[in-house]
Structure 1
Amino acid sequence: MNEKFATLFETVELPNKVQLKNKFVLAPLTHVTSHDDGTVSEDEINYMEQRSQDVGLSISAASNVTDLGKAFPGQPSVAHDTDIEGLKKLANVMKKNGAKAVVQIHHGGAQSLPNWTPNGDVAAPSPISMKSFGETEEHHAREITHDEILETIKAFGEATRRVIEAGFDGVEIHGANHYLIHQFVSPYYNRRTDEWGTDKFKFAREVVDEVVNVKKQYADDSFIIGYRFSPEEAESPGISMEITESLVKTLVEKPLDYLHVSLMDVHSKTREGKYAEETRIELLHRWIDGRMPLIGIGSIFTAEQALEAINTKQIELLALGRGILLDYQFVSKIEEGKEDEIISYFDPNREDKHHLPPKLWEQFNQGFYPLPRKDGK
């Protein structure tokens, strides 16, 4: 290995004293590859085994905690005890080479897809119509009831219990990317006048507390709990960096093991307001104030970009998304001194199809995600 990359392979200790073998994280990537009922498929197992083999922390695709919360075709489920058997197989392959294996627990809220939910029902903090994953026309989401909110909080806890029983090392609470927990935080999605609207952090706090309580019941201190969030949204009035500052300062008081910021570019700057033009990860790092590691992500396609992100000293861990999808050997090539061989663009003519599951390769080929491409499309 080129010694300048050695810092990427230093161990990282989480607040619960768990050691990660390096600073690389497999991001929770939508693979649309589970069976229609959410159970684990062989294609999914093979894909997750490859992408987990070299990272310190491996996070599964967003996994729905209730049938009402399903937001993708081929989305994995942690909503039923019958899911546990397949989850055990997934945990085994994700942990096989020393990565800590985490399940991202998720509810789509307004972004749930009517053609994948019971009776086409979709519920959100407040009524809203919108397009979501792959839709050409808007669907409508009704307002979720108080009792359903309490049931959903419990569902995040039950999902955590199943993850523990399946042998995973932890969960990541999905509070980002315009899904249910994010929606409760957002003034754009949450226009309620009850306790769930006047205190926009209440739902997030209750979910975290429920997950922590389940950990205390069923697991030991080594079980990891992380939380993912989006720092700003384009909608108006939406989540601002000022709101995120308050959210982060709330979350760091909880017994979490890391925070994970969802970004398209790890070096992106704040859009507007009090902190306009300041680098988001610098602000977040300041607010976290050493209480727990911050995972950064966004547009890392080369070893040099990975090193540059870590060398900012604003993140402790670096998640790989599109980069590790293009080349599942991204990390090992750096470690073996072959960083110049990393595949950093999508080539639709590769015979190996980047070792992607067929449905995910097709999405790449159709331009579903922004990617550097060999064909320039």
Structure 2
Amino acid sequence: MKFRDFEAKNHIFMSPVKTALATPKTGFITEELIKYYERKAKGGVGAIILEPISVLKSGKEHPKQVMLDTDEHIEGLKKLVDTLHKYDTKLIVHLNHAGRVANPKASEVVKSSSAVKCPSTGVTPEELTLDEIKELIQAFKENAERAQKAGADGIEIQFGHGYIVHQFYSERLNKRDDEYGKDKFKFAREVLSAVKEVTNIPLILRISGSEFVEGGITDEHLTKIFALAEEFGVSIIHVGWGNACDSAPWYYNHMSLPTDIMDNRLKEIRKLTKIPIIAVGRMQIDERYKKLVDDGTIDGVVFGRQLIIDPDFPNKILSNSDDFVRCGGCLQGCLANVKAGKPINCIANPEVHSEFVVEKIPEKKKVAIIGAGPAGLFAGTYLSKKGYEVTIYEKNDYAGGQWVLAYRAPGKIYMKDTLEDIIRKTEKSVEIKYNTEVTPEMLKKENYDIIIVATGAKPFVPPIPGLTDYITGFDFFDGKKVEGKNVLVIGGGLIGLEAAEALVNEGKNVTVVELMEEVGKGMEVVASKLFQKNYAPKINIYTKTMVKEIKGKEVIVEKIGEGITSLGEFDDIVVTAGTKPVNELYEKLKEEFNNVYVIGDANKVGQIVDAISSAKELAEQL
């Protein structure tokens, strides 16, 4: 398919998602990174836009960011290009400099067009000098030249999302009174001119369709960008959303955000330019990509996290298969891991770094899995791939375990898509027996060779004197109503805050008590920012506080370092003080059977990604 002078085998692109798979500090491409992108190429994507390359060390966002700032980096990039070309997948090099978004722990000194503080990092950058601006433009030029030498099929320059080029043409961020302040598009023009001077491969510009902030990007800005794009022969406009400093939830496209506002904005942008448009932002949701391509709003679609959870998604949708797993947009395994300095991961795909190897088993064995939560479902799927005869037993009339409760929290409904797809895939190869309580006698009768216990976790209720009338967070998200007006939530972790959000939406007066110094442990960073902005001001939050006693409706607490006091009376109490493994059955079974294993929360309480990883590891061993 042709996009002006850029051609690919189909209209599907992969967005530049950071992976933290390059070498620390130096940013060389590793074998692990090549394998990661090769897996995406195998899945049928037409073109991969490589994760952001910082043209100078001063513009890095994390220590393991890919670099192309020396000739020594060309060899690794060429190897990646050659690998992807085996699958007829094109590679586009994405060039950027973070400017005020730069990570002070990874960059030398944070620099920008002007000294305007970045809210997401808390850092106020130094203003670039004229000599430093020249050095920066030269860096874009040299990086682009190296990309072409490595055989890249195109170059994408970051023109949006609050990064360096954007920082120059934004009136909100550029406060200079020199030539780069008077002509705010001077820097953008000089970057494009420098890149075109040394390259003849297709050029792409990535922009923000909207920043969703006051004083953000306007149609006037976009019109000037599109005029520059025409002048310099740009092949594609790549539309994303938000601003990394000021509107991170939109930049990372959190699952709680509406999609119609993006679609309507794309239709408006379509009227401003004839240059081919590709767009990103949870495009798999409700098959938005089909509608937008079919009506001519966009010419191609860009997937990021969707190709992490399911690398084969392009091949599947191109062949009209529905055997895919949709990304719910939770950001827990991808963004959270990279921000923590760990390699990119996914809560619903434990094969991001190592594919499950299907080895022939010498004889077919019968396997019983007790529990159809995430760990049980994945263990069943993997063992069936190896040829085992697997039956999953579930005491409820539904599968999913705690995942079912998770998507009932405010703004998390799209996690239901992911779970439904996982269950559907599992049921194609594994028998799931619902409404079934497992007993040792039943297992003996069926003569199972292997028994796997995946019974999950249950709420922990602290032994507080007088705590008799309450519901747990599990109860709340399972549908139990809170009738009273004033509600106390004991525990300010992930489940506690999600319950508090839901209660606020119901019009309740909510108080959260947390023993730790801050609430939100285990909450993904963007979700945490949304909580702080939208819900925290409406909730009474007490940290470093322990509930000591309940006297009727009165709640007595101890504030660490301040003493004991009363919080007043509450109509209802929701306990979200953590969970503990449900492993009584495992302890019983291992006394009567030889091959008994325990996985997921039943073994050790963790997150979804921990549960499914333990399932994969056990399936590989058996």
Match of 1:115 among 80, 105, 124: 105
C-alpha distance in 2, partners of 1:91/1:129? 38
C-alpha distance in 2, partners of 1:61/1:108? 13
- The TM-score, its normalising length taken from structure 2, stands at 0.50
Residue 259 of structure 1 pairs with residue 237 of structure 2: yes
1:218-268 Cα deviation digits (max 9, x unpaired): x5xxx2111111133244433223322332233223211111111348955
1:80-126 Cα deviation digits (max 9, x unpaired): 112112111221223221122111011011111121123xx111000
C-alpha distance in 1, partners of 2:3/2:91? 14
Shift of residue 280, structure 1, vs aligned partner: 1.8
1:162 match = 146
Match of 2:197 among 198, 213, 218: 213
C-alpha distance in 2, partners of 1:303/1:213? 43
1:288 match = 273
Contact kept, 8 Å, 2:14 with 2:304, in 1: the verdict is yes
Contact kept, 8 Å, 1:303 with 1:339, in 2: the verdict is no
Q: Which has the higher contact order (CA 8 A, sep 6+)?
A: 1
1:168-317 aligned at under 5 Å gives the runs: 168-215=152-199, 219=200, 223-263=201-241, 264=253, 268-269=260-261, 279-289=264-274, 292-301=275-284, 304-317=287-300
C-alpha distance in 1, partners of 2:91/2:286? 23
Contact kept, 8 Å, 1:188 with 1:236, in 2: the verdict is no
Contact kept, 8 Å, 2:112 with 2:128, in 1: the verdict is yes
Residue 102 of structure 1 pairs with residue 99 of structure 2: no
Q: Partner letter of residue 356 of structure 1?
A: V
C-alpha distance in 2, partners of 1:58/1:285? 23
Residue 145 of structure 1 pairs with residue 129 of structure 2: yes
Shift of residue 157, structure 1, vs aligned partner: 0.7
Contact kept, 8 Å, 1:226 with 1:256, in 2: the verdict is yes
1:329 match = 312
Q: How many equivalent residue pairs?
A: 334
1:50 match = 39
Q: Partner letter of residue 286 of structure 1?
A: K
Q: Partner letter of residue 49 of structure 2?
A: I
Shift of residue 323, structure 1, vs aligned partner: 1.4
Q: Alignment partner of 2:124: what SS?
A: strand
Match of 2:118 among 108, 127, 130: 130
Change (3 A) 1:351 1:20: closer
Shift of residue 354, structure 1, vs aligned partner: 4.3
C-alpha distance in 1, partners of 2:169/2:88? 35
C-alpha distance in 2, partners of 1:90/1:97? 12
Shift of residue 59, structure 1, vs aligned partner: 0.5
- The TM-score, its normalising length taken from structure 1, stands at 0.81
Unaligned runs of 5+ in 2: 242-252, 334-344, 355-521, 528-606, 609-622
Change (3 A) 1:173 1:122: same
Residue 32 of structure 1 pairs with residue 10 of structure 2: no
C-alpha distance in 2, partners of 1:80/1:344? 36
Match of 1:344 among 317, 323, 327: 327
Q: Alignment partner of 1:356: what SS?
A: coil
1:21 match = 9
Shift of residue 350, structure 1, vs aligned partner: 8.5
Shift of residue 338, structure 1, vs aligned partner: 2.2
Unaligned runs of 5+ in 1: 1-10, 271-277, 359-364
1:71-90 aligned at under 5 Å gives the runs: 71-90=61-80
Contact kept, 8 Å, 1:20 with 1:57, in 2: the verdict is yes
Contact kept, 8 Å, 1:233 with 1:240, in 2: the verdict is no
C-alpha distance in 2, partners of 1:156/1:352? 37
Contact kept, 8 Å, 2:309 with 2:346, in 1: the verdict is no
Contact kept, 8 Å, 1:301 with 1:322, in 2: the verdict is no
Match of 1:41 among 18, 23, 30: 30
C-alpha distance in 2, partners of 1:351/1:185? 38
C-alpha distance in 1, partners of 2:169/2:346? 42
Q: Alignment partner of 2:133: what SS?
A: helix
Q: CA RMSD, aligned part only?
A: 2.8
Change (3 A) 1:232 1:85: same
Change (3 A) 1:103 1:266: farther
Q: Which moved more, 1:85-94 or 1:181-190?
A: 85-94
C-alpha distance in 2, partners of 1:351/1:253? 44
C-alpha distance in 2, partners of 1:266/1:226? 27
Q: Alignment partner of 2:78: what SS?
A: helix
Shift of residue 340, structure 1, vs aligned partner: 3.9
C-alpha distance in 2, partners of 1:350/1:123? 33
C-alpha distance in 2, partners of 1:159/1:102? 13
Change (3 A) 1:356 1:84: same
Contact kept, 8 Å, 1:294 with 1:316, in 2: the verdict is yes
